[in-house]
Structure 1
Amino acid sequence: MHLSKLYLKNFRNYKSLQLHIEPGIILIQGSNGEGKSNLLEAIYILSIAKSYRTRNEKDLIYKYKENDIDFTQIEAKTLHNQIESEIQINYHISKPIESIKNKIESKTNFTKSIRLNGVNINSSTLVGNLTAVLFNAEDLDIISGSPSVRRKYIDIFISQLNKKYLIALQNYQKILIQRNNLLKIIRKGKANKEELYFWNNELIRSGTYLVEERNSTINLLNKLSLPIHKDLSDNQEDLNITYLPNISDITQENTVIKSFEEQLIIREKDEILQGITLVGPHRDDINISINKMNAHSYASRGQSRTAILSMKLAQAKVLMDFYKKEPIILLDDVLSELDIHRSKKILDIATKYTQCIITTSDENLLNNPNILSNQKFKIQENNIFSTLK
């Protein structure tokens, strides 16, 4: 599968953009701040139906001014086995006039719609139609950042494979909010501890599924990442990815449930005192080690890049096996901070995919004979134009 056309309207720094893209390696060069990452963000939104950079989708709107811009659009055409598909995501802005207590007030409404081949669909239905794997500088936070960053990474990955997981995750978060509210009410003496029984069971039921899916996916990711990382590091480094669940025993479903129940009993007083749930997958973590050393504490930026790239390439293999089509590889300024040898290995791997889009701020790469790109583009002053192949 590959992306053949990309259309942007009022997206980030692009007022309007139309891009025809070929299979193979696509190289996009531009100075910092010109919109390279915005371009890859738009493509990745078409894959997972949301931005990885912001929770507030209003941030996606071009120079957002309520009176000037009323919509943002991301549209693409893909080809797979000679079959063309069209994906369109629209963000609409409207300002209805409301009369409140004899005053005319203006309120901005923001809505989002998704269409696949002209048919309205929801976000979960979109996932899997255009599969993509993205690497960008922020991904280094998977190693250097907090546990929440690692949980987000694995949750997005599993949600690309399993729509049931996404629904379970959303349900778990709702249960968590309700249980936390109850804990605060109990702390104030306005409710009894017995009322926790229902929400404990709901938390265990929903949380057990998340734990099991995370465990199996992380084990698979570890298995597939190891040989990729060995290759990228010339057999100098061993990468190990280990699931660190908040509950202790996850060997079998019944032991997960039992461990969950025991931990909730043990931590009940602390939870009531703090007014928050202290037990469950929302407290999980992932340990990433290189040569048995915790990467969070000891890895260099170059080592971290190589480790994350290995994980992302393993993720691409899982997606390819699951959907029976190659994902689009999106590498945002990936070659910086990597030595020439590792950069070459990354490029060699990239050529194995139907389409790989690479961005860079280094203008010299446009003329680098080692990069056998099918297309080369340059971004300047919010415009993108093709350079000689």
Structure 2
Amino acid sequence: MSIINVMWAGGLPFASVHKVHHQILSRIEPGMPVKTWLLQGSASDCQVDVGPAHEWNLTSARLKGRHIWRLFRPWMRSRFREALLDSDARVVLLDGLGVARTLLPVLKDMPQIRVVVIFHGATRLHIASRELLRGFPASRLSLAAVSETLATSLQDELGLPVVALRSAFDPVAFQASLKPREEARARLGLSSADRRVFGAVGRLVGKKGFASLLDAFARAASGHGDWRLVIVGEGPRRDALQARIAQPDLVGKVLLTGHLEDVATLYKAFDWVLIPSLDEGLGLILQEAILAGIPVLASELAVFREQLGDTGWYAPANDEVAWSEAITRASQVPADAVALAQYQTLSPEQAWLSFSQTARDLISGRQ
């Protein structure tokens, strides 16, 4: 039996999605052949090793059947069908609804193949999408979401079973890769004079909430010349964020590092990790920070409370005043005690075992 792992695209915007699929596939039986299909982009743009890959080099217009490309949809589906038959695949893992809309019509009439669709975040389920999922043979289709919160929401909307596959990391491997505090701080360009360092990691896009975070940090750090905020990531909002950082109340206090491939090894540079997202499917940054022993202050989102419960530190999303006050409170408490409580609640060892078993069950068809 072989597996086809179908992804929408490579590149930084899809890094977390590739990471989750990589984790899932790492849990399957050794020796089982896996090939990744990238509908757009190239394997070299992916942030994890996707192994053998087929690059389809399709445009969004072609994939979505826009304009004249609607006429080519039957031809494109026949190409997918031929490639699936040639692959001798018995399981196909699909990245979200967009990929499902593209491949499910082809896979519906291929009874030898089971399908697993992984949902990574909030999804607009139009009538056609609901009918597509409901009309696929239930014995060959498994739906999974990367958090209990997302799984429950999708299940209510679809009226179909959705498995909660909360993504997790191997704690031993992750912790072994961490750089010591001083080395991590040097890598980020911090100095010994930076007494309090707050970190934030993610794509520089609106839904990550970094614009509001900068305003909140400016208020909280007023009068604290030795406080620093480090934002690690890249994206289309860089220029706007850079302009805000250049304002007098933030000059010299914020580092915008751009994308760093080794960011997962650098968490010990921070005293706290701030996650001001407006929306998240799961939030891998939260897990990475806690695995590194760093406490987290996050937006008041159900998916974060699902993971940290009452040990979490929360502030309303996009609320500059509330975030400023929460940052100030965080600076006044023993960070180690908060980190330990959050680690115990997240229970990374048990989470990894649960994730591994659920992933194997999905791939094998036992789920």
Pair in the same fold by TM > 0.5: no
TM-score normalised by structure 2 residue count: 0.27
Flag the structure with higher strand content.
Answer: 1
Q: Highest CA radius of gyration, 1 or 2?
A: 1
TM-score normalised by structure 1 residue count: 0.26
